Structure 1
Amino acid sequence: MTDNNNHGNCCAGHGGHDDAHQHDDGVSRSRRNFLVQSTGAAGALTAAAAGLPYVTTAQAEGLNGFTEVGARKHHYLPATRDTVHWGYFSKNLPGIVEAESGDFVTIETVTHHAYDDFDRMIKGDPGVEGIFHWDGEGKGVDRRGAGPMDASLFGRGAGEGLGVHILTGPVYIKGAEPGDVLEVRIVDAKPRPSGNPEYAGKTFGSNAAAWWGFHYDDLLEEPKPREVITIYELDARAHRNWAKAVYNYRWTTQTDPFGVDHETIDYPGVPVDHDTIEKRHGVLENARIPVRPHFGAIAVAPREEDMVDSIPPSYFGGNVDNWRMGKGATMYYPVAVDGALLSVGDPHASQGDSELCGTAIECSLTGTFQIIVHKEADLQGTRLEGLEYPLMETQDDWVIHGFSYANYLEELGRDAQSVIYEKSSIDRAMRDAYRKMRHFLMTTQGLNEDEAISLMSIGVDFGITQIVDGNWGVHGILKKNIFAGA
């Protein structure tokens, strides 16, 4: 993967990537057939063109963003060592796929926690094996994080681990320019099946109760502190809508293929040697965890820096970690750079509000999205005019996302990407969510400030999105039916 090409070059020579679904990088025919069936690719455009089961805000405003007449393309973007970027967003990345407003894109996403159980989450899956390949000679994907390549800060490996997520993309969207709004409709989200024949029909995910979790310095039982990995099993064929715990184990010092010791989970993709751990079975025996597949990170490229850590979310989206960001949801993002450069990753099988221990059930997924550009000139007088944050919409709700810092890259200056981890607070995130919800009510519903404040107190649910991603999040949920009288 080339880190420093710019998207201007990608568009000029992009024809070879335009049909990325034709380049499987060794994905087996049987696996491809499974994916085709699970995403409905044989009739994907027919199914996807039916749209979401509700009229979106953009549609209600008459903002189509594409010509209704004529076929729209469906792109397939597999997850391979050549189609992912690990741990960062960048306005300089080349587009892997070039799409037009109204097109559909099916995107494979891979969890960065897959090496917590190689046999269940990597083995037999050529795309994932290529991404996670790491031996004494090198890595399948060299850069992991937004740090320097020479490991000059912490000595942990290329990229330093300042950013952890495997992001597939980016998708370059023709005609998208700064000031526009990108609408991303999540048409489908399916678990990625295990490639290991021993676990056919199953999908697995990992939950890491890790050092960055909210709980870490507030433990009761010994040993303290400790990091614990729990492996969960799902039915890849969706015959069962719940996950079950398979086993857990405590993290032990792992030595990576370059000879670096990792006493904690401090670097993404470190191979876990299962000969060094003790598996405990029979955990959470009577618990059935509702499966609600969603994408922790959907983002357009930020404008402020060439490389941005994938962990803290911001105005461009990123690692928002709202479990509602799954099938049937629509996301709106302010476009910051030409082509928008949409990337998707951090897939989850399930997560609770707050993501308290540091992670969700981190589980690889395949998603289908429809992407629509709304031009700045068309937004005047609509609910999307002046949008400066990731806005979510579902059939029943509008969801406003507030952060400790609405745009930490701009607000915290030169050292923003390190300082943000020291400055976040729920108070600040709540204040930002309140201000955004007030603005939304006053500008989109025509309320005055007194009306907006009263309604927020009696009719809006504010919740903690996450307290583990550097830039902490609070979301406000506004029921659409509150305004049924209109």
Structure 2
Amino acid sequence: MCKGDDASCPHFELHHKKLKQDLNAERRGFLKSGLFAASGLAALGAGGISLVTPALAQATISKLPAQRAYHYLPANAETVHWGYFSKSLKPRIEVSSGDIVTIEALTHHASDDLERMIDGDEGAESVYLWTKEKKGVDRRGAGPTDPAKYKKGSGEGQGVHIMTGPVYVRNAEPGDILEVRILDCVPRPSGNPKFSGKSYGSNAAANWGFHYNDLLGGTKREVVTIYEVDIAGGKSWAEAVYNFQWVPQTDPFGVRHDTIDYPGVPVDHSLTNRNFDVLKGVRLPIRPHFGTIGLAPKEADFVDTIPPSYTGGNIDNWRIGKGATMYYPVSVDGALLSVGDPHASQGDSELCGTAIECSLTGTFQLILHKKADLAGTPLQELNYPMLETQTDWLVHGFSYANYLEELGPSAQSDIYSKSSVDRALRDAFRKMRHFLMTTKGLTEDEAISLMSIGVDFGITQVVDGNWGVHAVVKKDIFSARAA
């Protein structure tokens, strides 16, 4: 019987429409899982050691509306902005502190395999639409939108991530802290009936990768590997389907792309040589997470999504997944939260340039902590994105803590030539020292000793313009210490 996957069926259109409705209902099923997960989080700061102290929790709770609302923000051409953050963007939804919102996030690498990651998915199809006449989302990046100035395409690819949002948080003001709890995070199912029950992602070993100028034999190449994820829960790993070497592609507007230099260019696989005999017997544990969650910065109207900064953005830490909490300093009214760059899995460093770039849907609880309530709490002087899990605290260091301010008018171009692991490590050290001294009341000497023997410093990423180093400290180190 046709289930919407047999084009020869006389009732194919009716069956296919029902299939799409069922898929949409499946995606919106996150409501139940998100609310169920949130029910155990009703009391702020309750249980365990948290950056939210009991006093701050009480102050925040007193400001919450009597009723918590639930919101659903799908990803489509009307709800996404591609490749940039902006303080001037019109919000797609407004929420109150304590509300829960489910947000769909599309990978910007779906066009590497249109059949598996775009076809049949109405939201993705609307975003990736690109014909000779128009694009579903024209601007892709923070660069010029005047055809007389750009060469690759509108936005010039100065920023690549498809960001859903922004979300306006009522009463959020500069100086506040936005707490973002990730209640759920799961792969988006393929909309193509041929791949029912599966999700797919792309890993591009690209020209911006750390490896690119160090290939054996000196022959530069970009290789894309497509991975399959089982969303039915039968497998907790991803497996490679095939890989291919990038060959010049001409986009529907007639621009030739010799390298991967502009997001969303449709790959014509009649020109590629796909190798299906790749990474056989290798299982990659999946750890779904969001590479890019951030608030709008105040420094510029259009900010490239690639380099991370003090309001978050493209941190690319695989620990920012289900069960994690992020804290972001608010820079503009409403905070303007956007979510994108979803990953099925990634290792520390993201060495070749990308993770398994795979569309996800996340459920979040957004909690606003007002500046007036932060005095004497661990969040009082927080001016960088911080991650909290059940067991750990993580600070994120960057080559430049706030490159937009530090590098001046040409920051968005200069950052790509000025980053170093040394600078990022120095920033992570300073932030962890500050955290230990202010939050735990350690002296500088105590903090330095503890950092050397009880804090793990790791390379978050070396591919995002503003390189990152994270520092991880276990909460149980302080279990015998008075609060």
TM range (shorter): over 0.9
Superposition RMSD on alpha carbons, in Å? 1.6
Residue 90, structure 1, aligned to residue 83, structure 2: no
Corresponding residue for residue 384 of structure 2: 389
Aligned pair in 2 of structure 1 residues 69, 233: CA closer, same or farther (>3 Å)?
same
Corresponding residue for residue 156 of structure 2: 160
Corresponding residue for residue 22 of structure 1: none
Check conservation: 1:27, 1:125, Cα contact below 8 A: no
Taking the aligned partners of 2:436 and 2:32, their CA distance within structure 1 comes to 42
Secondary structure, aligned partner of 2:396: strand
Taking the aligned partners of 1:461 and 1:99, their CA distance within structure 2 comes to 36
Q: Note the C-alpha offset of 1:145.
A: 0.1
Corresponding residue for residue 466 of structure 1: 461
Corresponding residue for residue 219 of structure 1: 215
Amino acid at match of 1:149: T
Secondary structure, aligned partner of 2:404: helix
Q: Note the C-alpha offset of 1:485.
A: 1.1
Residue 146, structure 1, aligned to residue 136, structure 2: no
Residue 30, structure 1, aligned to residue 19, structure 2: no
Taking the aligned partners of 1:194 and 1:146, their CA distance within structure 2 comes to 29
Taking the aligned partners of 1:365 and 1:446, their CA distance within structure 2 comes to 39
Corresponding residue for residue 439 of structure 1: 434
Taking the aligned partners of 2:48 and 2:342, their CA distance within structure 1 comes to 26
User: Which deviates more from structure 2 when the two are superposed, residues 56-65 or residues 303-312?
Assistant: 56-65
Check conservation: 2:182, 2:321, Cα contact below 8 A: yes
Residue 415, structure 1, aligned to residue 410, structure 2: yes
1:5-28 deviation line (CA, Å, top 9, x unaligned): xxxxxxxxxxxxxxxxxxxxx993
Corresponding residue for residue 55 of structure 2: 62
Aligned pair in 2 of structure 1 residues 468, 190: CA closer, same or farther (>3 Å)?
same
Aligned pair in 2 of structure 1 residues 256, 250: CA closer, same or farther (>3 Å)?
same
Q: Note the C-alpha offset of 1:49.
A: 2.2
Gaps of 5+ in 1: 1-25
Corresponding residue for residue 23 of structure 1: none
Check conservation: 1:57, 1:383, Cα contact below 8 A: no
Secondary structure, aligned partner of 2:56: coil
Q: Note the C-alpha offset of 1:251.
A: 0.1
Taking the aligned partners of 1:62 and 1:348, their CA distance within structure 2 comes to 36
Residue 360, structure 1, aligned to residue 342, structure 2: no
Taking the aligned partners of 1:54 and 1:152, their CA distance within structure 2 comes to 58
Residue 100, structure 1, aligned to residue 90, structure 2: no
Corresponding residue for residue 50 of structure 1: 40
Secondary structure, aligned partner of 2:242: strand
TM-score (structure 2 length as normaliser): 0.92
Q: Note the C-alpha offset of 1:42.
A: 3.9
Aligned pair in 2 of structure 1 residues 142, 54: CA closer, same or farther (>3 Å)?
farther
Taking the aligned partners of 1:162 and 1:88, their CA distance within structure 2 comes to 8
Gaps of 5+ in 2: 1-17
Check conservation: 2:33, 2:184, Cα contact below 8 A: no
Q: Note the C-alpha offset of 1:266.
A: 0.2
1:298-447 matches, cutoff 5 A: 298-447=293-442
Taking the aligned partners of 1:179 and 1:27, their CA distance within structure 2 comes to 47
1:104-115 matches, cutoff 5 A: 104-115=100-111
Residue 184, structure 1, aligned to residue 180, structure 2: yes
1:228-243 matches, cutoff 5 A: 228-243=223-238
Taking the aligned partners of 1:459 and 1:238, their CA distance within structure 2 comes to 36
Secondary structure, aligned partner of 2:264: coil
Check conservation: 1:188, 1:327, Cα contact below 8 A: yes
Secondary structure, aligned partner of 1:131: helix
Corresponding residue for residue 119 of structure 2: 123
Aligned pair in 2 of structure 1 residues 311, 58: CA closer, same or farther (>3 Å)?
same
Corresponding residue for residue 67 of structure 2: 71
Secondary structure, aligned partner of 1:326: coil
Taking the aligned partners of 2:55 and 2:26, their CA distance within structure 1 comes to 37
Check conservation: 1:27, 1:126, Cα contact below 8 A: no
1:216-255 deviation line (CA, Å, top 9, x unaligned): 0101157x10000000000112221100000000000000
Corresponding residue for residue 247 of structure 1: 242
Aligned pair in 2 of structure 1 residues 116, 407: CA closer, same or farther (>3 Å)?
same
Amino acid at match of 2:317: N
Secondary structure, aligned partner of 1:33: helix
Corresponding residue for residue 276 of structure 1: 271
Taking the aligned partners of 1:149 and 1:124, their CA distance within structure 2 comes to 30
1:255-300 deviation line (CA, Å, top 9, x unaligned): 0000000000000000000100000012110110000000000001
Aligned pair in 2 of structure 1 residues 326, 74: CA closer, same or farther (>3 Å)?
same
Taking the aligned partners of 1:442 and 1:58, their CA distance within structure 2 comes to 14
Q: Note the C-alpha offset of 1:111.
A: 0.2
Check conservation: 2:144, 2:150, Cα contact below 8 A: no
